[in-house]
Amino acid sequence: MVPDPAPNVVPFGKYRGQPVAVLMRDQSYLDWLAGQEGIRRQYPWLFGAAAEETPEHNRYQVLFLDDEFAHDVYEHYFPGVLERDHRRDLAGGDYVEMQGPLKTRRLPVVTFEDRIERRDGYRVVQSGSADVALSLYKRSPYGNGTGSTLRIEIKPQMGDDYPAVLRQMKVSECNMLYLVAYTGSGATLDQVRKIFSASGIAVAMHSDFWE
């Protein structure tokens, strides 16, 4: 089935009936739209990507079930943190040793489709979800509290739609893009890495971990 082409006129909302170029100039509105899952699913052309829940996307997501792979990705963003906290475990420090086969190394806790919820008075405000979240937990008098968390967006492919991906990730508060293939021609991969890095987001290529 051939997907519907992107229209020239906005079919909904604040800019209904106006040229798409007008909507694209309203950055704050675009950021808000990126956090609305229903809109992202119904109008994927607006964000430069098709629906993400594809077999290919899922294949890369389940890689994070492997303890050693999850460890290596976390270490890529937080160099030395896992080993340093493992030494604190051995010395009786605050961090809790996680269950898993890698008894000589600290392991992050893996969660999928992780959503952040914040409150605006009595109203719950939801951001977009991260495909994968890798977290450390440490003891507190009230149970386990979250330590350093890596929130990951997975893209099997990204091209010149990278500004839309960046907007989406800022709304969902992701700090790593796990990218399999970059196909853009308007900017080099190194330039895209620098653009994302300026917003505190690391771009990790699949080839960084798998040959």
23-78 pLDDT, tens digit per residue, is 776 767 777 777 776 777 777 667 654 444 578 888 999 999 998 899 889 988 88
Q: What is the pLDDT of residue 2?
A: 38
Q: Domain residues for 128?
A: 50-208
- 178 and 124 in one domain? yes
- 32 and 120 in one domain? no
Say how many domains are in the chain.
2
- 56 and 38 in one domain? no
pLDDT tens for 135-171 read 875 444 343 444 578 999 999 989 988 988 898 888 7
- The label of the residue with tokens 């009595």 reads 122
Q: What is the pLDDT of residue 155?
A: 92
- 137 and 79 in one domain? yes
pTM: 0.66
- 181 and 198 in one domain? yes
Could you tell me the strand order of the sheet in which 143-158 lies?
A: 109-120, 123-140, 143-158, 176-182, 202-205
Cα separations (Å) of 162 from 12, 23, 79, 139, 158?
23, 18, 26, 39, 6
Res. 198 pLDDT band, cuts 50 70 90: very high
Q: What is the pLDDT of residue 125?
A: 57
Which residues have C-beta within 8 Å of that of residue 38, sequence separation ≥ 6?
A: none
- 62 and 21 in one domain? no
- 92 and 181 in one domain? yes
- 73 and 15 in one domain? no
pLDDT tens for 72-121 read 899 888 887 766 654 444 444 444 444 444 444 567 889 998 877 666 66
Helices in 62-199 by DSSP H: which ranges? Answer: 67-77, 81-90, 162-171, 189-197
